[in-house]
Amino acid sequence: MALTALLLMVLMWSFWPKEAVAMNCSKTLSHTFLRLQDEAPQNLCQYQGKVVLIVNTASYCGFTSQYDGLEKLYSQYKDKGFVILGFPSNDFGKQEPGSNKEIADFCHNTYGVKFPMFAKSSVTGPDANPLFKHLIEQTGTKPRWNFYKYLVDRQGNVIEAYSSMTSPSSKKIVAQIEKLLQEKP
């Protein structure tokens, strides 16, 4: 019996993401993506202990103006332990056709986006990036369009998913962020 338990622990340890073990990082954040502006690898474990809003984005969408609200939200709470992570995607309506450089330039020049943005990737279907696969698995809710949002607490637990129709400045999102920020990391 003890040997079986030990074997099971060793087996689990060998398949657990190494950076999650090394940094006590949650499964939600134990992923590495290329940064949008320069394609430098970024380990999301650096955001462990923060309240995180994860958003799939697009430059040519009716919801693109949400970049403004997202940037305001980020500016307001970033010094309190909050971060927004943007993931451009061409999955919905082919509304993100540009290169990573074109997307980065658009976000910076049009909306002054300063929150972390990552290289364009798929967020739904069989080609979805591993973070979005995890978010979908945890919430049972896949993005239905651009600017779908997932809120993650300081421990890396996926708390809630918000539709594209939910503004970043909505009372519901702001109240939940403020509540989560009061919790200790």
Element (H, E) at 171: helix 171-182
The DSSP code sequence of 83-127 is EEEEEE--TTTT---S-HHHHHHHHHHHH---S-BB-----SSTT
Count of Cβ atoms closer than 10 Å to residue 14 Cβ: 8
∠ Cα 30 158 163 (to 5°): 120
Is residue 61 flagged as an active site residue? yes
Catalytic residues: 61
